Amino acid sequence: MDPSNGPVTIDKLWSIAQKLNKTDSKGNYTQLGFIPWAGEGEHATWALDFGAKYYNQQTCQVTLTEPAIMQAYQDYTKWAQQLNYSKVDTFLATYQPPNAPPSQTPFLTGHLALSIDGNWNISNLTQYAPKLNYGITYLPVQQQGDKPFTWSGGFALVMPKGAPNSEGGYRFMHFMTGEEGQHIYAQVTQHLPTWKSLYNDQSFFAGQQKFFGNLMQYSHSRVPLPVGAQLWDAMTTAQQDVLLGNKSPQQALSEAQARIQPQMQQFCPFKLT
């Protein structure tokens, strides 16, 4: 799994992880190799890894039942059955209960071997587990020899309608999203900036951050649709239904498609530039 060897396949990673699972005398997990849906193992990570497009601008249709997304949800079904979703849920409730402090996660306490996470967690690892022996590598890919993969996302600054100080709000937003503001924000929070000019400043890529800086050449992003938030919620609901075994991937994603397309229709035609 050394990144110098390139990314491992999903099948290889799964094989390694399965060998690390441990249970107690009652059959409860005390250690797991990998939980594919935990942390950043959400639908967007796997769907984009498989090449999801999400949207056909020729037809102005969201494509939530496309093969790449369907594959991600089919894998969720397989993984949940193989690990036994309810047993994993019990494991997480034990080793990472609700409202637990940042130091109490199964990865930090040595109960979880592999975790999908982002560069923002480096500061937590430094603060809460300074002696933890860990490494950073690529997300797994479908076939041996596939290029590395990752995706980038973030948040936006918005101003509520009717804000009493719209001029001041705009000035703040303009500063925070500009080069100087991003320089301050990214340094303090240990995120990567989105201004390309800041990538010439190597202080952003010291230590473990260098790996993530180099990874940006392989990064994708979700399609910027006006129904992005609703789409995310619908796919999260579908993910949960599939993991619980309440619905098949086809049923869950078809319902998500039927829920989001009418909302998208009001913006048609909508072209990505």
> Model confidence over 225-246: pLDDT tens digits?
999 999 999 999 999 999 999 9
pLDDT above 90 covers what percent of the chain? 75
Confidence tier at 256 by pLDDT (50, 70, 90): very high
pLDDT of residue 246: 96
Angle in degrees, 0-180, between the axes of helices 67-83 and 85-95, rounded to the nearest 10: 70
**pLDDT tens, position by position, 36-85:** 999 999 999 999 999 999 999 999 999 999 999 999 999 999 999 999 99
**pLDDT tens, position by position, 17-44:** 999 999 999 999 999 999 999 999 999 9
**Rounded CA gap, 74 and 242, in Å?**
8
Confidence tier at 124 by pLDDT (50, 70, 90): confident
- What average pLDDT does range 205-221 have in this prediction? 89
- What average pLDDT does range 112-141 have in this prediction? 91
pLDDT of residue 207: 85
- Token pair in block for residue 169: 């709000």
Q: Is the pLDDT of residue 204 over 90?
A: no
Q: Which of 168-177, 213-222, 251-260 has the lowest mean pLDDT?
A: 213-222
- What average pLDDT does range 117-133 have in this prediction? 89
pLDDT of residue 14: 96
pLDDT of residue 114: 96
- What average pLDDT does range 150-169 have in this prediction? 90
- What average pLDDT does range 216-221 have in this prediction? 91
pLDDT of residue 136: 94
Q: Is 223 exposed, middle or buried (0-12, 13-18, 19+ CB in 10 A)?
A: middle
pLDDT above 70 covers what percent of the chain? 100
pLDDT of residue 200: 84
Q: Is the pLDDT of residue 262 over 90?
A: yes
pLDDT of residue 120: 86
Half-sphere exposure at residue 174, Cβ-oriented, CA atoms within 13 angstroms = 6
Domains of the chain: 3-152+221-265 (3.40.190.10), 153-191 (no CATH)
- What average pLDDT does range 130-141 have in this prediction? 93
Share the mean pLDDT of the chain.
93
Neighbours of 211 (CB within 10 A): 16
pLDDT of residue 134: 93
**Rounded CA gap, 204 and 189, in Å?**
11
Q: How far does the chain reach from its first CA to its final CA, in angstroms?
A: 37
**Rounded CA gap, 76 and 74, in Å?**
5
Q: Is the pLDDT of residue 273 over 80?
A: no
Confidence tier at 9 by pLDDT (50, 70, 90): very high
Read off φ and ψ for residue 192, nearest 5 degrees: -90, 140
